[in-house]
Chains A and B, each alone.
Chain A
Amino acid sequence: MPKHHKTPVVVADPPRLAVRKTYKLFIGGKFPRSESGRTSLLDGDNVALASRKDGRDAVVAARAAQPKWAGVTAYNRGQVLYRVAEMIEARRAEFTALGVEPAEVDAAIDRWVWYAGWSDKIAQVVGGVNPVAGPFFNISAPEPTGVVGVVAPPSLLGLVSVLAPAIVTGNTVVLIASKAQVAITLAEVLATSDVPGGVVNILTGRAAEIAPWLASHDDVNALDLTGVDDAGLAIELERSAAGTLKRVLRRPVGGADFAADPGLRPMTALLETKTVWHPKGF
């Protein structure tokens, strides 16, 4: 028998250490850090701080994805968008944990479903046959503008309200988000919803730093300034966008009311009308 018998100290299991999430960028379907290596401290998280080079990389990804996304059937795009709504629903606890009110999550899901349904209806509503005075078949149909640069509003409903109308018609998007945690959680939804990589690219950081590079970029076709609350910056961006005649969506006077019926304008502002003529004859 041993002389000294030591009784092990019985301690309670330590509380489990949580695995924290790293908030990185969302480019080309992947979640890279900023090439600049920069982060900023936002509500206790070190979130990636995108650079202008990240902006250019995101434009390349968006351009590469655009023809294929525009080329899938409208029915298919509608299905993919509906799947996004399903995934927000499934992850609603993540959004509420970030401080989004449950009612806003509801509204965001409902808005997404509303837009999903537009995919195969908008062409019939805004296009159609034109009764020209001659023996011609003449038809106008909407087509996506291309790559859209978006300065997004911070709220989840705001994000959804600028993103869904852009992509439902076949555009691809480079989106600048100020509220990284909500935006990147939405990116995780998109990454698990059959949205092809590159269709939505999310840069977290400062609009004043990145947006000017999108505004002057030759390969960006339109600029949505809904989330720009600095009037001086909005004017600078619109002037810069004129260099390549980008379509510009201005921030509504007094800010956007995302609770209201969006109407068709968020979609039609990012559509081109193509009119095709062909003679008729035996």
Chain B
Amino acid sequence: MFDYAPAPESRSIVDLAPSYGLFIDGAFGEGKDTFKTINPATEEVLTEVALAGPADVDRAVAAANRAYRKWSALPGAERAKYLFRIARIIQERARELAVLETLDNGKPIKESRDVDLPLVAAHFFYYAGWADKLQYAGFGPDPRPIGVAGQVIPWNFPLLMLAWKIAPALATGNTVVLKPAETTPLSALFFADVCRQADLPPGVVNIVTGAGETGRYLVEHPDVHKVAFTGSTEVGRQIARSVAGTGKTVTLELGGKAANIVFDDAPIDQAVEGIVNGIFFNQGHVCCAGSRLLVQESIAEELLSSLKRRMATLRVGDPLDKNTDVGAINSAAQLARITELSVIGAAEGAERWSPACELPDRGFWFAPTIFTGVTQAHRIAREEIFGPVLSVLTFRTPAEAIEKANNTPYGLSAGIWSDKGSRILAVADQLRAGVVWANTFNKFDPTSPFGGYKESGYGREGGRHGLEAYLA
């Protein structure tokens, strides 16, 4: 095995101010309280951002309501041009935004550069084109926007989740108040600057930074008409409860515990790549991660030894290094959660394995880990770990694989590996999951609807389907 020389991406392209205010009505203002955001790979403080309180959220929602009248009345073709502008500016500033995302989130630069940013730009480009074609989208001859959307997004794909929320909302004529996650507020604030560069009218996009309380105040605000949330199933339940009787419409994209099913006729090398991509992509901080590997018993031994060989080549470390495969865990709290569930996994009798891998001294790190001998009763087979931890279960027949795959309250995604087309289609039919990847995993596209069954939430983001959530 060759050693790799470090190939660090320069961070000088990102010019961080010592502090950032809230972006309301087209301008950055001050916040009364602030909090620090750190680089999870080094624990270095990157900058300070404002902590939005109720009065700040009130101002943001009021600005969005004022802007709504003109924005919703603008011809679709004009709204489209703003969104095309935003898409272009993102493409031009992609390198800067990718480095920023990696600094604030801890994900490898390879991913923010090659996955997140291209998808962000593509998402705006895709929905831009819808803005003047809504009457052909299949939601009636005269689809209308809803009003002000309150949007709360997670920390795992900060800018991409922002794009999934803001692009369709604006294309359909809504205005937004968006709250980025507490640990990853920076790319949303840089996006605010993109909006300014695009001359987007003030108040159409408002960014309020803060923690859970800020988000709760936003989604429960009486002058918010539409709520969109991506995050944990527990918070999703609270939101669904809070909107009862309000007339607000909601889309929720929540947790998952996806089964990645490998049949005995699967191409093993490709399946191993898919398993690795499924669970170690983005440190496993992916709601649709393939966190339960279901492998047919007859090939389990062969597959696991291939998987372990492959895992031993994963490079864990400096997220800004262009060679890095697995970056930093996003926060101390998330690291504690992953650590806790892993300890429980071993205590409940599953066998834990990680490749030998040196982890940096500072920052939050967790080595890629698999558990074998996992049963369906184990907590690591039932609960979302949201980290680089794979639970391996076996099965004998397709019926057993389907039964086990569906034996979860979640239903976001699933994977199937087999060379037999008819088997893939039959199994895909039976899986209760919103996205099924067959002989691939963790693929995303602006045209492809994404969202869950059961307790993984409701509504779809992406594609024509993604418009529905923002149309009355």
Residues of chain B lying within 8 A (CB to CB) of residue A244: 409, 455
B 89-107 binary contact with A (CB < 8 Å = 1; else 0):
0000000000000000000
Residues of chain B lying within 8 A (CB to CB) of residue A75: none
> Contact at B233–A273, with CB atoms within 8 Å?
no
Residues of chain B lying within 8 A (CB to CB) of residue A239: 241, 244
Answer whether residue B252 sits at the interface, using C-beta atoms and an 8 A cutoff.
Answer: yes
Q: Which of A132, A239, A242 has the most CB of B within 10 A?
A: A242
Q: How many Å from the CB of B71 to the closest CB on chain A?
A: 25
A 109-133 binary contact with B (CB < 8 Å = 1; else 0):
0000000000000000110001111
Residues of chain A lying within 8 A (CB to CB) of residue B238: 242
Among B244, B463, B465, point to the contact of A242 (Cβ < 8 A): B244
Residues of chain B lying within 8 A (CB to CB) of residue A126: 138, 465
Residues of chain B lying within 8 A (CB to CB) of residue A238: 240, 243-245
Given known pairs A130-B463, A263-B140, A277-B438, the reply for A242 and B237 (CB within 8 Å) is yes
- A263 CA to B468 CA, complexed, in Å: 14
Secondary structure at the A interface, as helix, strand, loop or mixed, is mixed
B 121-135 binary contact with A (CB < 8 Å = 1; else 0):
010000000000000
Answer whether residue A19 sits at the interface, using C-beta atoms and an 8 A cutoff.
Answer: no
- A277 CA to B247 CA, complexed, in Å: 35
B 429-469 binary contact with A (CB < 8 Å = 1; else 0):
00101111111100101011111011101101001010010
B 175-190 binary contact with A (CB < 8 Å = 1; else 0):
0000000000000000
Residues of chain A lying within 8 A (CB to CB) of residue B424: 278
Answer whether residue A231 sits at the interface, using C-beta atoms and an 8 A cutoff.
Answer: yes
> Contact at B445–A132, with CB atoms within 8 Å?
yes
Which residues of A, 226-282, contact B by the 8 Å Cβ criterion?
231, 234-236, 238-239, 241-245, 247, 253, 263-264, 268, 272-279
Residues of chain A lying within 8 A (CB to CB) of residue B449: 130, 140, 273, 275
Answer whether residue B194 sits at the interface, using C-beta atoms and an 8 A cutoff.
Answer: no
The residue on A at minimum CB distance from B428 is A276
Q: How many Å from the CB of A193 to the closest CB on chain B?
A: 27
Among A134, A268, A275, point to the contact of B436 (Cβ < 8 A): A275
> Contact at B453–A272, with CB atoms within 8 Å?
yes
The residue on A at minimum CB distance from B122 is A133
- A277 CA to B417 CA, complexed, in Å: 12
Residues of chain B lying within 8 A (CB to CB) of residue A221: 454
- A276 CA to B245 CA, complexed, in Å: 35
Residues of chain B lying within 8 A (CB to CB) of residue A133: 122, 445, 447
Among B247, B428, B447, point to the contact of A130 (Cβ < 8 A): B447
> Contact at A245–B252, with CB atoms within 8 Å?
yes
Answer whether residue B254 sits at the interface, using C-beta atoms and an 8 A cutoff.
Answer: yes
- A172 CA to B341 CA, complexed, in Å: 37
Residues of chain B lying within 8 A (CB to CB) of residue A253: 247
Residues of chain B lying within 8 A (CB to CB) of residue A132: 443, 445, 447-448
> Contact at B254–A138, with CB atoms within 8 Å?
no
> Contact at A275–B448, with CB atoms within 8 Å?
yes
Residues of chain B lying within 8 A (CB to CB) of residue A278: 424, 438-440
Among A243, A268, A273, point to the contact of B237 (Cβ < 8 A): A243
Answer whether residue B256 sits at the interface, using C-beta atoms and an 8 A cutoff.
Answer: no
Residues of chain B lying within 8 A (CB to CB) of residue A235: 244-245
Answer whether residue B236 sits at the interface, using C-beta atoms and an 8 A cutoff.
Answer: yes
> Contact at A276–B445, with CB atoms within 8 Å?
no
Q: How many Å from the CB of A240 to the closest CB on chain B?
A: 9
Residues of chain B lying within 8 A (CB to CB) of residue A268: 468
A 151-174 binary contact with B (CB < 8 Å = 1; else 0):
000000000000000000000000
Residues of chain A lying within 8 A (CB to CB) of residue B428: 274, 276
Residues of chain A lying within 8 A (CB to CB) of residue B457: 245
Residues of chain B lying within 8 A (CB to CB) of residue A243: 237, 241
Residues of chain B lying within 8 A (CB to CB) of residue A134: 443, 445
Residues of chain A lying within 8 A (CB to CB) of residue B122: 133
Residues of chain A lying within 8 A (CB to CB) of residue B451: 273
Q: How many Å from the CB of A23 to the closest CB on chain B?
A: 33
Known A-B contacts: A221-B454, A238-B240. Give 19 more (CB < 8 A). Answer: A130-B463, A134-B443, A140-B449, A145-B453, A238-B245, A239-B241, A239-B244, A243-B241, A245-B454, A247-B458, A273-B460, A274-B431, A274-B435, A275-B435, A276-B428, A276-B437, A276-B438, A277-B440, A279-B439
Pick 11 A–B contacts, CB within 8 A, sort by A. Answer: A130-B448, A140-B463, A235-B244, A242-B238, A245-B240, A264-B138, A274-B428, A274-B435, A277-B438, A277-B448, A279-B440
Q: Which residues of A contact B (CB under 8 A)?
A: 125-126, 130-134, 136, 138, 140, 145, 221, 231, 234-236, 238-239, 241-245, 247, 253, 263-264, 268, 272-279
